[in-house]
């Protein structure tokens, strides 16, 4: 890590005083060794702070001093962010840069050398909404195969298949799947009642293949499943935690050559995308997902905009 921390010492004496340079080195050592930030994050913070000190040097007409940092105003930071934006930096880059500067100034503040009031008054640029990419149909189906799970215990493999089948076959959020009880399953016929965000209730068609996966898990589970308690159990019998399924998905995507975006939530996204791609209408998909507004569903299925135009052109009387 010291290679990155000591980078460009000669340049530093041009853009900041030796006092700032020393505090910068101490800060980088602290976030690397005490806070154990990832090496790539430390590198990015080092680079962002260097860019900020370069900007301040031009702004104040000389090497940035501790007094310049102490007197930092929100307008100074806005000027820096505006310059970076003109240089092509996106919202994520600007947000990370602001986080790095805040970290450094708070480090100085703890030593009684600066105030973070100026940086605290600046809101980070609004981040664009992103969604996981849908998993293709063949890989999604493969994820619901017991043999794919690579589990030594058959009941645990069956459990994972049942949970993944609910995410992909019913479009459930992982929390919704893990909150199911044996009573809900026993009382459901061809539809599964789900209470989602904001206590919004919805009915999901329960595919035979999904019910079969759940029944196979129930048959193999070594623990007594009380009607009103958690359906899905961990290896020691407690309620299954979301992290266990997330960890299993990481193993599966490594084995199947899937990208890092192949998460449990990506299975819900795949459910919606595959329905839309096969002719499902947005209003129905909205109900199945439990979205409060149609605009959310439009964003969620935005990857298939071309498909929407195709349906429109075929169906609208004036098309």
Query: Which residues are known catalytic residues?
Result: 173, 197, 265, 268, 291, 300
The closest of 162, 128, 132 to 145, measured between CA atoms, is 162
**CA dist., res. 150 & res. 125, Å (int):** 43
CB 167 within 8 A of CB 268: yes
Beta-strand relationship, 191-195 and 201-205: antiparallel
- Map residue 161 onto helix, strand or coil: helix
Q: How open is the CA angle 251-255-259, to the nearest 5 degrees?
A: 80
Name the token pair of 26. 């101490």
Residue with tokens 């298939």: 304
The DSSP secondary-structure symbol of 124 reads P
**CA dist., res. 17 & res. 233, Å (int):** 59
Distance of CA 80 to the CA centre of its chain: 28
CB 175 within 8 A of CB 242: yes
- Phi first, then psi, for residue 191 (nearest 5°) are -130, 150
- Map residue 239 onto helix, strand or coil: strand
What's the residue count for the chain? 319
CB 14 within 8 A of CB 52: no
């Amino acid at each position: 890590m010291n290679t990155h921390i000591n980078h460009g010492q000669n340049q530093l004496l041009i853009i900041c005083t030796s006092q700032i340079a020393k505090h910068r080195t101490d800060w980088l050592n602290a976030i690397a060794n005490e806070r154990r930030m990832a090496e790539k994050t430390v590198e990015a913070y080092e680079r962002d702070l260097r860019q900020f000190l370069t900007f301040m040097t031009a702004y104040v007409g000389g090497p940035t001093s501790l007094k310049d940092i102490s007197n930092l105003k929100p307008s100074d930071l806005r000027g820096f962010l505006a310059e970076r934006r003109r240089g092509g930096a996106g919202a994520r880059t600007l947000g990370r840069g602001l986080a790095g500067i805040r970290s450094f100034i708070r480090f100085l503040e703890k030593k009684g050398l600066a105030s973070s009031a100026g940086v605290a008054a600046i809101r980070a640029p609004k981040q664009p909404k992103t969604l996981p990419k849908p998993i293709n149909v063949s890989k999604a189906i493969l994820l619901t195969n017991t043999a794919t799970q690579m589990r030594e215990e058959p009941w645990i493999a069956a459990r994972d298949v049942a949970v993944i089948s609910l995410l992909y076959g019913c479009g459930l959020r992982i929390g919704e799947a893990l909150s199911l009880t044996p009573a809900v399953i026993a009382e459901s016929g061809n539809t599964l009642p789900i209470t989602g965000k904001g206590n919004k209730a919805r009915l999901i068609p329960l595919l035979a293949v999904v019910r079969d996966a759940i029944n196979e898990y129930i048959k193999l589970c070594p623990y007594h499943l009380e009607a009103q308690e958690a359906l899905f159990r961990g290896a020691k019998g407690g309620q299954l935690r979301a992290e266990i399924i997330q960890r299993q998905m990481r193993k599966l995507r490594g084995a199947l050559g899937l990208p890092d975006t192949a998460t449990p939530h990506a299975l819900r996204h795949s459910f919606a995308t595959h329905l839309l791609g096969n002719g499902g209408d947005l209003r129905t998909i909205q109900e199945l997902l439990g979205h409060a507004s149609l605009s959310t569903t439009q964003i969620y299925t935005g990857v298939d905009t071309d498909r929407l135009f195709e349906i429109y052109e075929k169906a609208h009387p004036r098309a």
